[in-house]
A and B are shown apart, each in its own frame.
Chain A
Amino acid sequence: MTSHNRNLVLKGGWDKVVNEMAMELDVFVGNTTIMDEEVYQLWLDGYTVNDAVKVRMEGGVLEECEASADVLLSDTMDQYRTFQMCERLLHSPAKLANQLLFQIPPHRQAVLIERYYTFDDAFVREVLGKKLSKGTKKDLDDISAKTAVTLKSCRRQFDNFKRVFKVVEELKGPLVENIRQHFLLSDKLARDYAAIVFFANNRFETGKRKLQYITFQDFAFCAGQLINNWTVGAVDNMVEDMDVDLDKEFLQELKELKVLITDKDLLDQHKSLVCTALRGKTKAFNEMEANFKNLSRGLVNIAAKLTNTKDVRDFFIDLVEKFIEPCRSDRWTAADMRLYLTHYTNSAHILDTFKHQVVWDRYMGVVKSCIFKMYHD
């Protein structure tokens, strides 16, 4: 089978040479624009026409339709041209619906847009939290080599990020909704873009080795949590500012939480409350008890430092270093983690001298769900 395929490929290559030499011009234009989803994907993935033809041949489309390699080449070229002509419209998807050049059924327009803005997880993981600048764009060839995503595709994805970023940067109102309306994306994809914009804007560090195990989807979830709880828009939709920036007042208030570790009584009281609740419920109880003060200091210090932009960037690396890694070395299970953080959060409410319940909840709610999401191998 493989050798058979190789023959086809070779033959295709040869045909192409012949075809290119002799066929001066070859176009096919339908009144309804014909687009093959498979070819579209190959185009998006940055395959050259020749490579796309090879892939299609290996996919067996020829055998299905009694066609020859140059038919496939001609078809692929036509489609590539169509996509190139459409690309300009895809940059502002709303135009696609009322342009006159291509007659494309609405549902197909939606597919075109959605696919165009879809990105590779491997790629996005590399640029997540980086400044979407020319400098980063220059590094794309390294990223391409590392992720095995073609440079062409990397550029498209990067430009998409940048385009979305530029448009929503200046818009008021909810981030996800803005993205969805401007780029006509599905809810899921709009959320992912919101995460990318949010990370790029706050420049969260995601590239450190220790963070490599965290997937884009983990980060996207965390971004969603932060957007929904820690931005200005989260508490007040009417506010001018939008949800790309963290709520400065809230960050200031986080400093107040320091009392939980600086006040020795409070710290002890907190520990005993948590330990009482946990006793007998987990195998890792001893480690929890032993590590309580360290862990609590870790989390509260993270909170207290968030007024510094630098420390905001290190938010995720801090979570991993100060909390996740110690727990992992003590072999906590995910259930242990869940149990511990639930009681750790709730017990603070019972502390009579602790007055910052609202800020605590707003902080711990997000941290808790972020850690749950990030606590895996």
Chain B
Amino acid sequence: MPGKLKAKIVAGRHLPVMDRASDLTDAFVEVKFGNTTFKTDVCPKSLNPQWNSEWFKFEVDDEDLQDEPLQITVLDHDTYSANDAIGKVYIDIDPLLCSEAASVISGWFPIYDTIHGIRGEINVLVKVELFNDLNRFRQSSCGVKFFCTTSIPRCYRVAMVHGFVEELVVNEDPEYQWIDRIRTPRASNEARQRLISLMSGELQRKIGLKVLEMGGNAVVGYLQCFDLEGESGLVVRAIGTACTLDKLSSGSAPNTTTHVHPNTAPASNACNSPSKDGKEPVFGEDVLSFSGPPTPFRALPTSSSSPPPFSPSKPCSRQSSSSDTDLSLTPKTGMGSGGSAGKEAGPLKTLLRQQTQTALEQREFPFFTLTSFPLGFLVHVGGVVSARSVKLLDRIHNPDEPETRDAWWEEIRQEIKSHAKALGCHAVVGYSESTSICEEVCILSASGTASILNPRYMREGCLDIGNTDHRFEEPSPPSCGFCHIPYDELNMPFPAQLTYCHHCRRQKVPDVLFTTIDMPSEAAVSGKGCLIQARLCRLKKKAQGEVNATVISNLLPFMEYELHTQLMNKLKLRNMNALFGLQIQISVGENMLLGLASATGVYLTALPAPGGIQIAGKTPIDLSNEHHILTIQKRINDTIAKNRELYQINPPELTEEVVGSPIPEPRQRSRLFRSHSESSDELSELDLSHGKKDAFVLEIDDTDAVEDIHSLLTDAPPPSGFYSCNTEIMPGIYNWTSAVQMFTSVRVFRLSNVNLTNQGLNKIFTDLCENLLKSFYFKLRSMIPCCLCHLNFTVAVPEDELIQVAVTAVAMTFDKDQTQERTADKPVTKGCSETEEQLQFPLELFADSSSTNTQTSSKISGVPESTGVSPRAASVDYGSFADRCSTWLELLRLKAHTIRRGSVKTTSSLDRCSPLPEGRSRSLRSNRSFGGGSVTVVKMTPLSFLPGTRIIKYLGIINMFFIRETTSLREEGGVSGFLHSFIAEVFAMVRAHVAALGGNAVVSYSMKECMLMENPHKNQAQCLINVSGDAVICVLETDQEPMSSTTSIGQTCTSGAT
């Protein structure tokens, strides 16, 4: 028996009245794990029962511990008839299986019923005793840590990045089994919840096994999704990046330099760590390990359930491949594709490529789900690569061999891999996969950013990050190196204009850069960034089967093209030249396709200034038309000028060279038809006068074009005081204060007009998205100055005439004055990048591997991006200095505030609304909230950090799936009322689980799925929600000692809630 699970049922409260006669309830509890069930005594006639049960003990395999949830059912005892269920709590005990995560689960859990929602709470205590036996053949993978966070978790250091792990499991969906016709909706929902919980447990265990095989000890960027394929089954799939992580303990600096070969000892994974003092400990081994053939990656596991590796006979061409069922593979690369990349790239890159190729190319898929990286990891970025494929779903016949689904993804991944190669890249970062299903048609999508990585992290014994790297690698400064093209400029994979980097002036850079990753913290930007969205609807005829799939796959390339064009135009209109965090979603409905591309635009100072947008009429030009064109042109020029001011884009070059109009002289225009900028035939020779760069030309040839241009201009900028982005943090904002408000918003729009055109639909869809944003700005107006970060839009076509948009994001406040100060100072600090300073940077960033400088380490674990954004090495020092200053100031203010507060202890509750910013008063507030024994405050954020705090412990992954159904929709306030309370309940259950683990926050929170089905005529609705995130304990950055986990960390959003 490798494990003993113990559970104790303490008490209940706020139970519902189950006996109308007495207005009371006779409650008891069933505790079930696997096939074993225990019961508590009945606590008669109480709505707040105290059971105080014995410890219920389950002796189980650790495999089961990983797969199964603990199931707690609260029932009302009834002498004469069957006992009535009040509700259930599922507890995922996975966090208890990892020594570094939580050690006990203890707290109040909402009792949840799929029909009635939350019905009271139950206090439960759960412990696990694990007996380790490492020698036996392992089916379990206890101890592998999972993180949703798509960067290296804050209190860990990465010793090695092993690479891509993926797995999927399939099953029949209980909702579609025959038994569903005779059982109650409640039973059916619970069967489904339980099955999905089991499947995700199994999936996680299998992925864990793969990680152990690779020699890793953690999965970062773990992304798990459900495909509810209806009749044909239920798929749970996950991808992630296997890593070896070392915990940064403040007490002891890790110093072992021995490394264990992963193949020989998969279980032990303590990879070596660098000695902090900046020696070059394992340099020699480095060289050896990449030249020697037996790299660990050859052993990359294709588990028994995976199909055989990709066979070369399968097309890896970029053309549509077709077989009987999979109709068409629609290859697209975001940056444009075509033209095979010269593998014999420029001599400068050859060396680098050779090193990395050995490390990476043996892998089946050199993919990384990470979106931000340790300094020096990312060498060059090629551009976005994506692939989509339309498939027809058929019933999964044998759940144990999910080969078809595996093969589908395999195919897509190969596609991505070959796209990356075409861009001269050997790896794909910021990689993600998604599906959209409508009836039996399924669109599989994958996208990522082709890039060249520093091989160092992928070899064993890789560890020294900072100083050796820079001497070894080619000397691209960190602030612009990633922009330099990885492909061969004479043999470019797609048309692009290259110029010399505006930073180092040594390497070529493209005119625009699209990526799916977060902006590297070291990148040099001018001004602020902003959310840029391209939205598109395309009608299609209703069809069945293959015809339908063909129609869809024929539409896809056009949609991608249009979205891309829109993005490009909007980017230019905002005077920016790079997109980060690009996500393109295409959702399929019966009679339409929806496309939504979201990204954060910025002005990278390494790239050339964007040209303007030039409007051209069709020839011959008639006079009235010309006037019209002039008006539009003027509006565009005005918008560009306004945006430059709004986003404070002020690169030094621009001020000198472009005076006034962004439109160059006409003779230099290259004429384009609403498209990518075209490359000039010969590459310009060291042309730094990019101010005269060609403008982007939009030709008005029909009414559609006019509409398109109008829609370009309808995107309203956020009201003053607001910024928005879909990345982790906003480029150009440095001083976050600690107030955060995470929110989820869902809107469903019914298309009432029968004769809709594409244009009409586009307008509706655009308005829907824009109005959502406006709504957020209005609701959060009290948080100004504020930035909406990680705005994540999900679109769906749940029914024929419905468009659903769901958004999860976080609003964070920042200190305005300091921002301005910083921006003003920026030009002064720019300049000279000396090698010495470059050396200091990494040292400083990684100094947190030791305990010597708590100030620094707290800064890094809290808001590292904010310190790193400063462009050049020289300014880095300034940045961290300023940060320290502000921390210090914060401390002073806090102290001052404490004193003031002490003297007004007797203020009535009404006076407690402190006019001071939340961050400063909250530690005091938390003291107050101790008194009433009130609920632990749990903050939630889609970001990987909380501003102003330091994560001191990761408690495990939160991955929850809920179903809610109602047969009294009207009484619950219609669909809005129904969904509103369901979302609130989901939040409550997430918070309760985190609090029970001893945590006080969820980071990297996301809502993966929100599927609503309604039937107002029958007064019914059903909704499925899947959420995930990382439970953590975080402490105020200013606190030296961690506060107890039950300490509520403050009501930060009070200011947001006025």
Contacts and interface: CB of A to CB of B under 8 A. Distances in A.
Interface in B675-733: 719
Contact of B973 (A26, A30, A34, A84): A84
Given A25-B979, A31-B987, A105 B1051 contact: yes
A32 B121 CA distance: 20
Interface residues of A, number: 49
Contacts of B751: 22
A264 interface: no
Contacts of A107: 909-910, 912-913, 925, 1051, 1054
A95 interface: yes
Contacts of A102: 984, 988
A110 interface: yes
A34 B979 CA distance: 16
B110 A100 contact: yes
Interface in A88-147: 95, 97-103, 105-108, 110-111, 114
B910 A100 contact: no
Interface in B1014-1058: 1014, 1051-1054, 1056-1058
A358 interface: no
A56 to B, nearest CB: 11
Interface string A16-51: 000001111111111111111100000000000000
B748 interface: yes
B749 A101 contact: no
Counting chain B CB atoms within 10 Å of each CB, the highest count among A77, A102, A103 belongs to A103
A24 B774 CA distance: 18
Contacts of B912: 106-107, 110
B781 interface: yes
A283 B274 CA distance: 100
Interface in B911-955: 912-913, 925, 928-929, 932-935, 937-940
Contact of A65 (B781, B909, B933): B781
Contact of B778 (A65, A98, A99): A65
B1051 A106 contact: yes
B910 A105 contact: no
A117 B751 CA distance: 43
Interface in B600-614: none
B991 A67 contact: no
Given A27-B979, A65-B778, A81-B973, A108 B121 contact: no
A74 interface: yes
Contact of B1053 (A32, A100, A114, A186): A32
B747 A25 contact: yes
Interface stretch (B4-12, B291-299, B556-564, B737-745): B737-745
A66 to B, nearest CB: 5
Contacts of B987: 29, 31, 103
B571 interface: no
B774 A68 contact: yes
Contacts of A31: 741-743, 938-940, 987, 991, 1053
A100 B934 contact: no
A97 B747 contact: no
A28 B779 contact: yes
B901 interface: no
B777 interface: yes
A336 interface: no
Contact of A27 (B741, B749, B980): B980
A74 B777 CA distance: 13
Nearest to A30: B743
B367 to A, nearest CB: 32
Nearest to B918: A105
Given A25-B747, A31-B743, A105-B1054, A67 B976 contact: no
Given A23-B749, A31-B742, A102-B984, A70 B928 contact: no
B746 interface: yes
Contacts of B110: 100-101
B975 interface: yes
A22 B932 CA distance: 45
Nearest to B1012: A25
A108 B771 contact: no
B973 A24 contact: no
A32 B913 CA distance: 15
B934 A32 contact: no
A111 to B, nearest CB: 7
A71 interface: yes
Interface string B798-814: 00001010000000000
Given A24-B749, A31-B940, A98 B934 contact: yes
B991 A103 contact: yes
Contact of A108 (B781, B804, B1054): B1054
B86 interface: no
Contacts of B1056: 30, 32, 34
A29 B983 contact: yes
Contacts of A26: 746-748, 976
A284 B1057 CA distance: 59
A105 B745 contact: no
A71 B778 contact: yes
Contact of B928 (A24, A64, A81, A106): A106
B750 interface: yes
A101 B980 CA distance: 11
A72 interface: yes
Interface in B768-782: 771, 774-779, 781
Interface in A231-258: none
A75 B743 contact: no
Interface string A50-72: 00000000000000111110111
A36 B1056 CA distance: 9
Contacts of B1054: 32, 105, 107-108
Contacts of B719: 65-66
A78 interface: yes
A82 B979 CA distance: 12
B356 to A, nearest CB: 42
B976 A97 contact: no
Given A25-B975, A71-B775, A108-B1051, A32 B910 contact: no
A85 interface: yes
B582 interface: no
Interface in A341-368: none
A24 B1057 contact: no
A67 B991 CA distance: 32
B14 interface: yes
A114 B1014 CA distance: 38
Contact of B910 (A64, A68, A95, A114): A114
B981 interface: yes
B752 A186 contact: no
B61 interface: no
Interface string B114-126: 0000100100000
Contacts of A23: 747-750
Given A29-B743, A35-B1057, A101 B984 contact: yes
Nearest to B801: A24
B980 A78 contact: yes
Contacts of A103: 935, 937-938, 987-988, 991
Interface of B: 13-14, 108, 110, 118, 121, 719, 741-752, 771, 774-779, 781, 802, 804, 908-910, 912-913, 925, 928-929, 932-935, 937-940, 973-977, 979-981, 983-985, 987-988, 991-992, 1012, 1014, 1051-1054, 1056-1058
Given A21-B752, A24-B975, 15 more contacts: A23-B750, A29-B984, A31-B742, A31-B743, A31-B991, A32-B741, A32-B1051, A67-B774, A71-B774, A81-B980, A100-B121, A102-B984, A106-B925, A107-B910, A107-B925
Report the 10 A-B pairs with minimum CB-CB distance, sorted nearest first.
A105-B1051, A32-B1053, A110-B909, A107-B912, A25-B748, A24-B748, A28-B745, A31-B742, A29-B983, A30-B743
17 contacts: A22-B752, A26-B746, A28-B745, A29-B743, A30-B1057, A34-B1056, A67-B775, A68-B771, A75-B778, A84-B973, A85-B980, A100-B118, A100-B992, A101-B988, A102-B988, A106-B929, A111-B909
